[in-house]
Structure 1
Amino acid sequence: MSAPGGPPRRGRHASDDATGGVPASFWTGPGTPTAGEYPPGSPVRPGSGLIDRGDQTGPLVEPDWWSYGSTDHPDHPRTGGTDAHGFGRQHPSGPLPPMPVGIWDRLGPRAGSAGDDATVATARVGGRPDDGNDRDEEVLADSPASWEEQTGGLEVIGANVDEESPRRRGLRRPRRARTADVPPTAAIPAQPVLAEPPVAEAAGPLTDDEIPVVPYDSRHDRRRRRRRRRPFAILFALLVLGGIVGGIVLGGQKLLDLLDPSSRDYTGSGSGSIDIRVNQGDTLSDIARTLDGADVIASTGPFVSAAKSHPDATGIQPGVYTLRLKMSGESALELLLDPAARQVSRVTLREGLTVVQTLALIAEDTGTPLEELQAAAADPVALGLPAYANGMLEGFLFPATYDFEPDDTAVDMLSAMVVRAEQAFDALQVPEADRLTVLTKASIVQAEAAGTEDMAKVARVLENRLADGMPLQLDTTVNYANGKGGITTTAADRANPSPYNTYVHPGLPPGAISNPGEEALKAVLAPAEGDWRFFVVVNPDTGETRFARTGAEHQQNVLLFQQWLRENPEG
């Protein structure tokens, strides 16, 4: 409608009496609302007398329920349609301020809706009802959030999420739009209420950036859980990596063992105890096979490789070694080179000892009973004595250093010495037919010479006297025949008819009178050049020996020896 004579007005109700079609008593009577009493979004403009309420005009009759002040009274049920303010009834006399929206009004359908399935969007937080000012629309159009307005007021999930701004812990996001904030110009349809997780309320007001997005965005919780799990994840990754590396190593070792069984090797120095014998003449490969067969090492390859790189490995001596089971190849080699690991009884036989003296020394150093050694010496066949020895053991117990194992018998010990004597003859290339003669001469040279420098001269004296047919007349042979020691003889000693008495019998005795060494053998094989027929030690303390060509010269040397005897009566 328009006032007479004036331009038509849009969006406002006007009357000629400036009351807007409402009696003046309504605005001026008791209980007239003031500006501060109008609720936000009310169509009544305080002080203007104007009410924006759509296109409806004309006076209305006030119904009975109006004096109650609400449409929720049970005596006044809602009937009829819905007006522009969301009420089911309208004021009978004219536009009035809208009454508070009741619960049933908010749950009721909107007028003009197509059905119960129609959806009415709620207002965005911070928005305000349209007051008819187009300026707001222009501002909103240029606002960064104008796209939200273009959605029809629909709430956009995650619209206010700021991925780079931190969110406060323990905050519960308030609902963006509550029913009490909805202006009365929009009807609120019934919507299902989603239960929110019970979290602590913020201590103070929240800004839009601080409002946590729950349950639409859980990335903050995911990052927090990731940070909490990070140490455990790192530890788990390290364990997995260690397992993978260990598996690769073990798998590679297994594969290598399958491809090359000789490359298998134990780790560490082993455990337990086992005795291993290294035989005379064993090579490194022979030793490795012995160790492998006894489970000292896993295979021959690692031991042989370690032995080839060790300069002392070729010096491993025959004998019994105390090793351990399941040793690495390198550990087994180091133990074989350790003298403490070898179980031996070492016996050193010096040159010039007789069989009787030798047996006593062996018994003392090895703990073998002397009776066992004497019984073994009486059986030359068991000892492997050569036939040309004529059953005589003297001279065949070669002087050297011997290492005997705990399980070596008396026969084993004496047999080893006989073998060593034969090796010496072989090394000097002495014909077998001459060996007994050479051995006998060498035993006399060994007993008569005071030192190695005189051996070749003594050997020459023997050759010259034998060549001349002279008796040897050597005190050492007489003492052997009498079972004595020393450097002198008596008349009774020299009267002994033993074939070893060179005062009585010409030529050489039937066999050796001691066990000579290699130097004596060499002296016999290569005597010194000279025409000496006599010799005598004039000073036994220093070993000084005088050689003479004639008997008279020799007699002068004998006087020097007798003088020493007078000075040393105990000899």
Structure 2
Amino acid sequence: MTLPTPPGGRGQHAAPDAAGQSLSAWAAGLPRQQAPARPAPAEWAPPAPAPPRRRAGVIDRHEAPDFPIADYARHSSSSADSSSDDATGRMPGLGDGTPPPPPGEPAGPGAPLPPRPRSTWSRMQRRTDGAPVDPDDAPTVAHPAVAGTPPPPPVDAHAEEDAESLFDDHTGGLEVVVADDHPRRSRRARRAAEHHEEHDSAHDDDHAAGDDAKPRRRRPVAVVLSLVVLAALVAGIVFGGKALIDLVNPADEDYTGQGTGSVDIRVEEGDTLSDIGSTLVEADVIASVGPFVDAAETRPAATGIQPGVYGMRQQMSGAAALDLLLDPATRLFSRVTIPEGFTVARVLQRLAEETETPIEELNAVAADPVALGLPAYANGLAEGWLFPATYDFEPATTPQQMLQAMVARTVQTLDELGVPEDQRLRVITEASLVQAEAASPEDMGMVAQVLDNRIAIGMPLQLDSTVNYASGKDGVTTTAEDRANPSPYNTYYARGLPPGAIGNPGEDALNAVLNPTPGPWIYFVTVNLDTGETRFAVTADEHAANVALFQQWLRDNPN
């Protein structure tokens, strides 16, 4: 049966035990001073649920005997003062052979007090020795409910009995349940419960899903397509990367063989082997520069490739192209050698013959000092300014370019020799006389000294070379009529140097004029035209004897 709630606050109604008496009825006999009043909370708040827990030394209430609380209270003071429990440590009537009192009758005054379990009752007793209070022993404090919290539902007696029955087991004993106030354990327990609930829910879902929840196997077609796509990506990366590398750094490709057809390429002044290779690539003579340069590194002669035009073939190997460039016959140019002492007329004729250039075009340029590029101190005279040397003229070279190159070479030589500009016309003129009269470089310095000695004393130069130039003849001999020509170039007729050169002197003649061989000579004559033997004399008699030797040579060589 259900007993009314004892005064002093809300309590739990215990379910009837095996003897037919509830725990509430048993506790009703306690003195009021022994049952501390619990303060009623301002508003009801549901307690936090805690899992039931069995503790060591707890007595199951179903095995506890029914005895009056009054007798227990009467002997509580003596029990509290005792330092130990009975020898058995058990309550009377619990297995010690003492029969419990009949229901409804109080135990006798001499009945022993029931023992208090150490693990539970000691914690319920307040400490009076000044030791720190365990937080678990702190009195329960009611807190006001948060504003806006709905009022608690009415208490149902049967619901409390059902909740209280949850803590009962089937052992038949009295169980004292102590709530677990430790927040960590409560939180850990809740997490474990939630985990088990989620696991059970997922397990149920898997069973409900059935075969649909099982992973499906990949089909062979999808695997093959994936492999094909992967292979395509790899191939694209490989070939695309190779194309990019070839674009940034082209591979050194090379043709094979000696090539076919013909093409002209030009090597400029100052071109390196790489420059020449690039020119060959542009003309499709070779495929790339690398093989050509590699072949040239093993051929020391490759560094001597001269500027000019070369007749090559297309699509040749790098090595074959190098061999062709080193062949002198490959170079397309006209090599023209102008000897020292040649007059302008003879120079133009040589150019026309060697370069297949019309003589009329050459004469027209030579007659125009501006087109010829003569310096102002040349006095408009082309004679003496076409420097004697060997020239290589390419097929496309114009007559003006040819003659200008010769004039530029003369000016360059005068610059190198350090001849002042106001002296250059005189030096060129005298050097042309030395070039025409001296048979060897060793005699040039002495001839130059004879000319200076005669000019110094006002004596006519009397040179047959000037007579023939004035008459337009060739040779070393003159006639009386030739020597009577009133031309300013006739040194028999006019004193001093002629107005201009009678030929184009070389560098040796120019050096002889600038550095004549010191000596008192007034006369000189070549006595042997085959050997060029020349004799110098100071007096007229010495000179007459030398002239006789020359006449004898002429008789011996009538042709």
TM-score, normalized by length of structure 2? 0.53
Q: 2:349 aligns with which of 342, 360, 364?
A: 360
Amino acid of the structure 1 residue aligned with 2:382: L
Deviations 1:394-452 (A, max 9, x none): 12222222222222222222222223323333333333333222221221111101122
**Counterpart in 1 of 2:265?**
276
Q: 1:291 aligns with which of 272, 276, 280?
A: 280
Q: 2:512 aligns with which of 523, 526, 529?
A: 523
Amino acid of the structure 2 residue aligned with 1:318: P
CA distance 1:314–1:518, shift in 2 (3 Å): farther
**Counterpart in 1 of 2:402?**
413
**Unaligned ranges ≥5, structure 1:** 1-249
**Counterpart in 1 of 2:375?**
386
Deviations 1:187-241 (A, max 9, x none): xxxxxxxxxxxxxxxxxxxxxxxxxxxxxxxxxxxxxxxxxxxxxxxxxxxxxxx
Distance in structure 1 (CA, Å) of the matches to 2:321 and 2:422: 47
Deviations 1:295-319 (A, max 9, x none): 3334444434443442112322222
More RCO (CA 8 Å, sep 6+): 2
Amino acid of the structure 2 residue aligned with 1:295: D
**Counterpart in 2 of 1:344?**
333
Distance in structure 2 (CA, Å) of the matches to 1:437 and 1:363: 30
Q: 2:469 aligns with which of 464, 468, 480?
A: 480
Helix, strand or coil for the counterpart of 1:321? strand
1:60-209 correspondence runs (5 A): none
Helix, strand or coil for the counterpart of 1:274? strand
Q: 1:474 offset after TM fit, Å?
A: 0.9
Amino acid of the structure 1 residue aligned with 2:464: D
Q: 1:303 aligns with which of 292, 304, 320?
A: 292
Q: 1:503 aligns with which of 492, 517, 520?
A: 492
Q: Is the 8 A contact 1:257 1:264 kept in 2?
A: no
**Counterpart in 2 of 1:320?**
309
1:446 is aligned to 2:435:
yes
Distance in structure 2 (CA, Å) of the matches to 1:523 and 1:305: 49
Distance in structure 2 (CA, Å) of the matches to 1:301 and 1:506: 68
Q: 1:370 offset after TM fit, Å?
A: 1.9
1:432 is aligned to 2:421:
yes
**Counterpart in 2 of 1:546?**
535
Distance in structure 2 (CA, Å) of the matches to 1:292 and 1:384: 37
Distance in structure 2 (CA, Å) of the matches to 1:300 and 1:510: 57
Q: Is the 8 A contact 1:256 1:263 kept in 2?
A: no
1:332 is aligned to 2:321:
yes
1:551-562 correspondence runs (5 A): 551-562=540-551
1:219-238 correspondence runs (5 A): none
Distance in structure 1 (CA, Å) of the matches to 2:372 and 2:240: 56
Distance in structure 1 (CA, Å) of the matches to 2:455 and 2:533: 24
> By percentage of residues, which structure has more helix?
2
Q: Is the 8 A contact 1:351 1:516 kept in 2?
A: yes
Please report the RMSD computed on the Cα atoms of aligned residues, expressed in angstroms.
Answer: 2.8
**Counterpart in 1 of 2:167?**
none
TM-score, normalized by length of structure 1? 0.52
Distance in structure 1 (CA, Å) of the matches to 2:325 and 2:242: 26
CA distance 1:269–1:565, shift in 2 (3 Å): closer
Q: 1:480 offset after TM fit, Å?
A: 0.6
Distance in structure 1 (CA, Å) of the matches to 2:241 and 2:530: 73
Is the deviation greater in 406-415 or in 530-539? 406-415
Amino acid of the structure 2 residue aligned with 1:331: A
Deviations 1:28-82 (A, max 9, x none): xxxxxxxxxxxxxxxxxxxxxxxxxxxxxxxxxxxxxxxxxxxxxxxxxxxxxxx
Q: 1:499 offset after TM fit, Å?
A: 1.6
**Counterpart in 1 of 2:552?**
563
Q: Is the 8 A contact 1:262 1:300 kept in 2?
A: no
Amino acid of the structure 2 residue aligned with 1:404: F
CA distance 1:395–1:322, shift in 2 (3 Å): same
Deviations 1:447-478 (A, max 9, x none): 10112221121112122222333221111111
Q: Is the 8 A contact 1:373 1:411 kept in 2?
A: yes
Deviations 1:94-121 (A, max 9, x none): xxxxxxxxxxxxxxxxxxxxxxxxxxxx
**Unaligned ranges ≥5, structure 2:** 1-238
CA distance 1:253–1:478, shift in 2 (3 Å): farther
**Counterpart in 2 of 1:87?**
none
Q: Is the 8 A contact 1:376 1:383 kept in 2?
A: yes
Q: Is the 8 A contact 1:307 1:313 kept in 2?
A: yes
CA distance 1:378–1:529, shift in 2 (3 Å): same
Distance in structure 2 (CA, Å) of the matches to 1:367 and 1:552: 52
**Larger radius of gyration between Structure 1 and Structure 2:** 2
Is the deviation greater in 407-416 or in 476-485? 407-416
Q: 1:462 aligns with which of 446, 451, 472?
A: 451
Distance in structure 2 (CA, Å) of the matches to 1:418 and 1:364: 20
Q: Is the 8 A contact 1:443 1:512 kept in 2?
A: yes
